[in-house]
């Protein structure tokens, strides 16, 4: 006797709608887009900061969010969308994640006030913006995933749980 994980009814308290089409995004996409908006806001905020202590605190927040987000995509979204999303696009996304991780590690080895610290944070922000576009643009990874057969509501629930675990795990290991 197999137990069914299928839920008989799906209800959502708040409809999530995309700005352009008015159509609701599935949970997995909603969560990932929310992460994107959050970190974009933090990069903008960074530009306004003067104090090194504030810069360090905000960069640490950005770094943690990006580590958790990229890991969730690499553990869940990207592998499960293999076959639904073009291979080249997924391959490039992994390479872009690696590039971002290297830059994050470089910045973590430095301190605010060091030569190129602000420049590296700025370039990381631009790099992330480019990557986010590849994921969110029409025909991009998210759009292709939405057309596929994967259950993006169920995937979203797993992502949420994994995010909590990773925030606790990686958040405890913050350098500062």
Residues within the interface to Fe ion (CB under 5 A): 73, 135
Residue nearest to Fe ion (CB): 73
Please, what is the minimum distance in Å from the beta carbon of residue 139 to Fe ion? 16
Nearer of residues 60 and 71 to Fe ion, judged by Cβ: 71
How far is CA 63 from each of CA 6, 22, 25, 66, 123, rounded to the nearest angstrom? 36, 32, 26, 5, 14
- Residue 78 tokens read as 């990207």
Nearer of residues 73 and 81 to Fe ion, judged by Cβ: 73
- Residue 117 tokens read as 């610290």
Please, what is the minimum distance in Å from the beta carbon of residue 7 to Fe ion? 27
Nearer of residues 25 and 135 to Fe ion, judged by Cβ: 135
- Collect all residues with Cβ–Cβ distance below 8 Å to 87 and sequence separation of at least 6: none
Residue (of 46, 27, 49) closest to 128 by Cα position: 46
Please, what is the minimum distance in Å from the beta carbon of residue 93 to Fe ion? 5
Please, what is the minimum distance in Å from the beta carbon of residue 31 to Fe ion? 10
Nearer of residues 32 and 56 to Fe ion, judged by Cβ: 32
**CA atoms within 13 Å, Cβ hemisphere of 43:** 20
């Amino acid at each position: 006797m197999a137990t069914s994980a299928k839920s008989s009814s799906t209800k959502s308290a708040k409809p999530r709608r995309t700005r352009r089409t008015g159509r609701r995004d599935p949970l997995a996409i909603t969560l990932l887009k929310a992460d994107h908006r959050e970190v974009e806001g933090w990069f903008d905020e960074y530009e306004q900061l003067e104090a090194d202590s504030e810069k360090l605190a905000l960069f640490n927040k950005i770094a943690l969010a990006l580590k958790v987000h990229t890991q969730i995509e690499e553990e869940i979204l990207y592998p499960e969308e293999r076959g639904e999303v073009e291979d080249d696009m997924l391959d490039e996304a992994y390479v872009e994640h690696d590039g971002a991780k290297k830059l994050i590690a470089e910045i973590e080895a430095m301190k605010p006030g060091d030569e190129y610290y602000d420049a590296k944070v700025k370039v990381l922000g631009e790099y992330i913006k480019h990557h986010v576009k590849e994921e969110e643009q029409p025909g991009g990874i998210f759009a292709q995933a939405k057309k596929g057969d994967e259950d993006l509501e169920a995937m979203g629930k797993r992502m949420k749980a994994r995010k909590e675990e990773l925030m606790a795990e990686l958040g405890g290991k913050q350098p500062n």
